């Protein structure tokens, strides 16, 4: 800037916000517990229900005999019940194969064990596969235009969860699925146990929420 022949320089100071541990996670899958999804002519529709209705709803680990004779449901329908009602799905990563030569960006191939009632099976996935699932669920959640939980929602949810835990010990309650954003290629070998725990927590929390558990991308 030139004022009466004199030159001055304006100084601009940029303050960068320090990184926190939460910056390593994607929390975009949050939603109020009072909402659920139903399928209307193949289109997902958000409906609101009372938390207390969920806690008092009877759960059963058996499928009614009449369900065998119901009309078939399309694979991508949100009314397609592929899980046993009232039974959790538990995820454990039991093994890891690391290969930086042929899979430089996603070197870790995880063996994922899933337990659902009396059933147990294994699948093998890389970080990129879980990342793709997360992206599809974020798009799905955004399309529903669900507001993020307010303070009132969270307080009501926490109160309900505490009461439910006291009345039904051993029943796992859903938490926010927090996806680890750090690329797999930046995870050194000594940090693999921590990465495995992060992915386990993400998948377990994801499968504890019916809105995501029954999504076609999750089922497939």
What local confidence, expressed as pLDDT, does residue 197 receive? 97
Q: Which of 107, 43, 50, 108 is nearest to 79 (CA)?
A: 43
In a domain, 114, yes or no: yes
In a domain, 46, yes or no: yes
Structural domain tally of the chain? 1
In a domain, 1, yes or no: no
> What domain range includes position 86?
21-64+76-219
In a domain, 163, yes or no: yes
- Residue-wise pLDDT tens for the chain (220 aa)? 555 555 555 555 545 556 666 678 877 777 666 666 665 555 666 666 554 444 444 455 566 655 555 666 665 666 667 888 889 999 999 999 999 999 999 999 999 999 999 999 999 999 999 999 999 999 988 887 655 555 555 555 455 445 444 444 444 555 678 999 999 999 999 999 999 999 999 999 999 988 888 888 998 8
CATH number at residue 208: 3.30.1520.10
Calculate the alpha carbon distances from 133 to 1, 74, 77, 216 in Å: 53, 20, 17, 10
What local confidence, expressed as pLDDT, does residue 69 receive? 57
DSSP lists the bridge partners of residue 52 as: none
Q: How many CA atoms lie within 13 A of 119 on its CB side?
A: 10
pTM, two decimals, is: 0.66
Q: Structure tokens of 174? A: 């859903």
């Amino acid at each position: 800037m030139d004022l009466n022949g004199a030159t001055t320089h304006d100084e601009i100071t940029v303050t960068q916000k320090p990184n926190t541990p939460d910056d390593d996670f994607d929390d975009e899958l949050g939603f109020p517990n009072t909402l659920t999804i139903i399928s209307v002519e193949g289109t997902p529709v958000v409906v609101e229900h009372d938390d207390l209705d969920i806690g008092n709803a009877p759960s059963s680990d058996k499928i009614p005999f009449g369900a065998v004779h119901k009309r078939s449901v399309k694979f991508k329908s949100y009314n397609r019940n592929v899980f046993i009602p009232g039974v959790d799905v538990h995820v454990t990563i039991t093994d890891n194969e690391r290969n930086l030569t042929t899979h430089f960006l996603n070197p870790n191939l995880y063996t994922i064990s899933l337990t659902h009632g009396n059933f147990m099976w294994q699948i093998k996935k890389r970080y990129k596969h879980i990342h793709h699932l997360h992206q599809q669920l974020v798009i799905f959640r955004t399309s529903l235009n669900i507001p993020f939980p307010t303070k009132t929602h969270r307080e009501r949810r926490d109160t309900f969860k505490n009461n439910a835990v006291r009345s039904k010990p051993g029943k796992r309650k859903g938490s926010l699925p927090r996806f680890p954003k750090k690329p797999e290629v930046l995870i050194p070998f000594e940090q693999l146990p921590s990465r495995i725990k992060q992915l386990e927590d993400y998948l377990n929390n994801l499968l504890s929420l019916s809105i995501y558990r029954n999504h076609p991308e999750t089922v497939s």
